[in-house]
Chains A and B, each alone.
Chain A
Amino acid sequence: MSGTLLTPDSRPRAGVRPTGTSFVGLVGVELRRLWWRRMAKVVLVAVVAFVGVSAYAAYQQTRPEALAERIDDYSSIVAETTRQNASIPADEKAAQIEACQRDQAASGADASGGGPGDFRCEQMFDPPSPAAFGIVAAERTAITSSIVESGVWIFGFLAFILGASFVAAEFAAGSMGNWLTFEPRRLRVGTSKLVAAGIGGLAVGALGVGLAALGATLVTTVNRPGADLPIAEAPIVPGDTAGQSLLRVVVIVALGGLGGAVIGLLLRSTAGVIGLVVGWLVLVEGFIANAFAEGRLQPWFLRTNIQGFVSDGTTYFATRCGADGCQSVSMPHSYTASWTYLIVVTVLGVAAALATFRARDVT
C-alpha cells in the first residue's frame, strides 16, 4: 500500500465525470435507499405476516366443516325462535313493531342532517338470516375487503414508521449533512425524500391489498363448499365499489408513508416521531376528541377522516341533550369532507416540513 490513502491516479477517466441528476433521478436514488433499508424488509415481513394470519382466519371461518357446524347451530336457533314467536299474541307483536317504528323515527329526527336509520322493525319476529349468522359462501371480494379493512390501520402505521425512519435516520446518522454536500438544493432534496416515502407507502398499501386478494383467492379456491350445504348467497360487494374501496386503502397507506416522512423531517428523530404519534393517538384522538364539546369535535380529527375516506363516509357518536335528557346519537361524516380534510392536512404538513428543512441548520 502506498504512503497515501490514494493511488497515484485517482482522477476519473474521461467519460465518467459527474453529469448531475434530474429530480426524477434523485427520487430514484432515494427509492433505492429506501429499498436497501432494513426497515423496508421488516415492513415487508409484517405485511405478509398480517395478511397471512388474516387469510388463515378467513380460511378457518369459511371451511365447509365450520359452515356445517354453524348451520346445525343455526337450525336449532331458528327452531327455538319460531317456537317462542308462535307463543306471542298477534296484537302484542303489532304493538312492539309500532314502538320500534316510533323509536326509529325519533332517532332520525335527532340525527341532524341524516335520515332515519332502518331498524328493520317489520323483521323483528323473523328468524335471523343465514348470512347474519355467518353462514355465507367464501367470496373473494368480500374476504379481500374484510382483510384490507381490518389491515388499513396496520398498513398505514407500518408505512408511517417506514417513512419517518427513512428521513429521521439520516439526521441520526449524520449522513444528511454529507448528502447535502453532494446535492445542496434543499427543496429538491427534501421533496425527493417525501416523494420516495409516499411511493414507499403506496407500495406497502398495494402489497397489502394484492396479498389480501391473493389470499382470498386461495381461501375461496380451497374452501369451495359442496352443493349439499344450504348456505345463503354471499353478501356480494359490487365490484366497482370494492375496487374503489381497495384503491382508497392504498391511497391512505401512501399518505401514511408521506406523513411519516413529513414528521420525520420536522422532528429529525424516529423516537420523537413515535412518541408524538402515540401521544397524539392516545391523548388527542382517543381522549380530547371525545371529552370536549360533547364529541362534536370528531370531524376535525384524523381518525374520523381516515375512516370516512376509506369507508366512503362514516358516522361518529356525539352526545345530544334535549328536554328528554342526554343521549348518544350517530352523526354522519361525508366522504367529501373526509378527503378534503386529508388533502388540506397533507398540503399543510408538506409545506411546513419543506419550509423547516430549507431554513434550519444541519449539524
Chain B
Amino acid sequence: MDVAVRTVNLRKTYLSRGSRRVAVSGLTMSVPRGGVHGFLGPNGSGKTTTIRMLLGLIRADSGTAEVFGEEVPQRLPHVIDRVGAIVESPKFFPTFTARQNLTLLAGAIGSPRARVDEVLEATHLRDRGRDRYAGFSLGMKQRLAIAATLLKDPDLLIFDEPTNGLDPAGIREVRDTMRSLGAQGKTVLVSSHILAEVEQVADTVSIIGHGSLLAEGYVRDILGGSGVSQVRVGVASPDRAQQLLETAGFSLTRDGQHLLVAADDPSAVTRALAGHGLYVAELVPVRPDLESAFLALTADEGLGSESDRLAGGRAVGGVS
C-alpha cells in the first residue's frame, strides 16, 4: 500500500505538576495515500497529540513517524510544502485582516502574492479579505484556515476536529470540501470524535483509544467485522412472534413493540412468521455503523465511559 503517513510505536507522555499522563502509547498506524482517512477516537485519546507530533510541534518520547516516506520531525522541512494542516481551531493573528494573515504565510514559504488572491477566490473569501480575522464567524475562520493550507497546494491535508462549533450548514460544507479534496487525489487525514462525521466522509479509518490503535482499515471492512446483521421487525403480536422465532433458532432482543433479530437473510424471518399465520408489518434492516463497531472494539479496552461520551458525542465539545 502506498502510504502518506506512518507511525511506529509512537509514544508521548506529558508531565504536569509532578504527574505523568500518557497521551499516546505505542501508536502504530498508516494512512494510505489519496482519499479521506478518518482518525477516530474519544476526546483525550491522543488524536491531536499525534497530529502535533506529525507536524513537529511536539516531540515524541519514542517511536518514529513518517510523512511521504520522510522521517519527521527531522526531515519535515523537506515535505512541509506538501502538507497543509489545521490543528484544533484555526489560529491567526486576530487584529490582522484575512489578506494580511495569508500574505504573511505566503511570504514564509515564498509563495507569490498572486496566490493569496487565488486562495481567497477559491474559498469564497475575496470580498472579506480586508476584514479583520477577529470579526470572523467560526465558519469564516475555518474557511480562512483552508485557504491558508491551499497556499502550498498540499498533497496531504490534516484537519483536526474540523467541524467543532460549526452550524449544520458549515459542517456540511466542510464535509463536502474534504470529500472534494479526497476526490482530487489528495490525502485528507481528518481527526474526529464524532463517529457519524467520519463514517460519512472517510474511505479508511484508524480508531484509537487510550493513545493506541484499536482498529484500522477500510470503513466497510470495519463495519463488516463488527457483528452480524440485524433486522427490526414490527408485527401485531410481538410476544408470540418472539416465541416462534426463538423456537426457530433466531437470536433476538426486544425493543419495545419491535424485535431486533439477528439474520443475514431477512426473508427467513418473514417465512418463519408467515408459516404460523403472523404477518410482518415492518421489516427494516439495521445497518451496522461505526458507532457499534467502535463500541464493540472498545468493549474490552476499559473505554466504557469514553464510549458513552462518543456515542453521544455529537454535542460534546473540547479537544483531544
Contact = CB atoms under 8 A, between A and B. Distances in A.
Contact of A182 (B109, B118, B181): B109
Interface in B72-95: 73, 76-77, 80-81, 83-85, 87-95
Given A17-B153, A33-B104, A5 B173 contact: yes
B172 interface: yes
B107 A21 contact: yes
B180 interface: yes
B200 interface: no
A18 interface: yes
Interface string A73-86: 00000000000000
B205 interface: no
B118 A1 contact: no
A184 B104 contact: no
A5 B174 contact: yes
A20 interface: yes
Contacts of B81: 18, 20
Interface in A155-197: 169-170, 173-175, 177-185
B58 to A, nearest CB: 4
B110 A25 contact: yes
Given A177-B57, A361-B58, A361-B59, A4 B148 contact: no
A362 B121 contact: no
B105 A182 contact: yes
B309 interface: no
Given A21-B108, A36-B100, A1 B124 contact: yes
Contact of A16 (B89, B115, B179): B115
A10 interface: yes
A359 B56 CA distance: 11
B176 A32 contact: no
A6 B91 contact: no
Contacts of B58: 361-363
B93 A173 contact: yes
B93 A33 contact: yes
A50 B256 CA distance: 80
Contacts of B180: 4, 6
B123 interface: yes
Interface in B209-257: none
Contacts of A38: 95
A9 interface: yes
Contacts of A5: 123-124, 142-143, 146, 173-174, 176-177
A154 interface: no
Interface string A1-45: 101111101111101111111000110110011001110000000
Contact of B107 (A3, A7, A32, A181): A32
A184 B108 contact: no
Nearest to A15: B112
B91 A175 contact: yes
Contact of B55 (A11, A19, A26, A184): A184
B80 A29 contact: no
A179 B152 CA distance: 13
B136 to A, nearest CB: 13
A42 B88 CA distance: 32
Interface string B149-175: 011110000000000000000001110
A9 B123 CA distance: 10
B122 A9 contact: yes
Given A7-B121, A178-B92, A21 B109 contact: yes
B57 A174 contact: no
A26 B179 CA distance: 34
Nearest to B48: A363
Given A36-B100, A183-B109, A362-B57, A7 B122 contact: yes
18 contacts: A4-B177, A5-B173, A6-B123, A6-B177, A7-B124, A12-B118, A25-B107, A25-B110, A174-B91, A177-B57, A177-B91, A181-B55, A181-B57, A183-B80, A361-B57, A361-B59, A362-B58, A363-B52
Given A26-B107, A178-B105, A180-B57, 9 more contacts: A4-B176, A12-B111, A12-B115, A12-B150, A29-B108, A170-B93, A179-B105, A180-B55, A182-B108
Interface of A: 1, 3-7, 9-13, 15-21, 25-26, 28-29, 32-33, 36-38, 169-170, 173-175, 177-185, 359, 361-363
Q: Which 10 A-B pairs have the closest CB atoms?
A: A174-B91, A361-B58, A29-B107, A10-B122, A21-B110, A19-B110, A4-B177, A18-B111, A18-B109, A4-B176
Interface of B: 52, 55-59, 73, 76-77, 80-81, 83-85, 87-96, 100, 103-112, 114-115, 118-119, 121-124, 142-143, 146, 148, 150-153, 172-174, 176-177, 179-181
